[in-house]
Amino acid sequence: MTRHIVCAARDLPPGARKLVHLEGRPILVLNVKGEFHALLNICPHQGASLAGGILTGLVESGEPGDYRYSREGEILRCPWHGWEFDVKTGKSWCKPSRIRLKDYPVAVESGGALVEGPYVAETFPVSIDDDYVVVEVATARVAERGAAGG
Ligand code: FES
């Protein structure tokens, strides 16, 4: 892991985001309510930049007509197709299905028992050192050169 200084902490206040390129990777650093998080800026669905996505909250429901809104500003919605990712873990809450008519088995389960989406946005450790935001990224491997490449 290599540590990279992204910016002074005061330059990334709560609600702000900064896109940087570290070790050849586009990484989106966000300040959510004073906590810093870093995500690979490539949506695992079809590759959109997540930097233009809106931060929203989580809507959960135990039954039709009953819902709770929580975690305001902690869910990042992809600007292309709206998949949502937990900024803290990178986990997706979406599992798109194919468009077709088919019979499916039906069961009743609590919301908390449902499986989370199969796609996860890659996250990176973020810390504050002497008031600077620091992101740790695995060092990029240098491509092996062919014999003719010198
Ligand atoms: S590319 Fe992000 S939801 Fe489709």
What is the per-residue pLDDT for 113? Answer: 54
- Rounded to the nearest angstrom, the distance between the alpha carbon of 129 and the centre of ligand 1 is 33
What is the per-residue pLDDT for 63? Answer: 85
Strand partners, 8: 132
What is the per-residue pLDDT for 55? Answer: 95
pLDDT in tens, the chain (150 residues): 788 888 888 888 999 999 999 889 899 999 999 888 998 999 888 899 999 999 999 888 888 899 999 999 999 999 999 988 888 888 886 654 443 334 445 444 555 555 566 677 888 888 887 788 888 888 876 554 544 444
Q: 24 and 145 in contact (C-beta within 8 Å)?
A: no
- Rounded to the nearest angstrom, the distance between the alpha carbon of 49 and the centre of ligand 1 is 9
Nearest CA to ligand 1 atom 1: 46
Mutation to probe ligand 1, out of 75, 77, 83 (largest number of atoms < 8 A from CB) = 83
Residue type, 58: L
Mutation to probe ligand 1, out of 28, 45, 119, 122 (largest number of atoms < 8 A from CB) = 45
Nearest CA to ligand 1 atom 3: 81
Q: 78 and 87 in contact (C-beta within 8 Å)?
A: no
What is the per-residue pLDDT for 141? Answer: 66
Strand partners, 92: 85
Instruction: Find the length of the chain.
Output: 150
Give the C-alpha separation, 18 to 38, whole Å: 9
What is the per-residue pLDDT for 123? Answer: 86
Residue type, 102: K
Report CA 97 to chain centroid distance, whole Å. 21
Mutation to probe ligand 1, out of 42, 81, 92, 120 (largest number of atoms < 8 A from CB) = 81
Give the C-alpha separation, 49 to 111, whole Å: 29
Q: What is the longest distance spanned by two Cα atoms in the chain?
A: 67
Pocket of ligand 1 (CB under 6 A): 43, 45-48, 78, 80-81, 83
Exposure string (b/e) for 97-119, b if CB count within 10 Å is 16 or more? Answer: eeeeeeeeeeeeeeeeeeeebeb
Other beta carbons less than 10 A from residue 77's beta carbon: 17
What is the per-residue pLDDT for 99? Answer: 35
DSSP code of 52? G
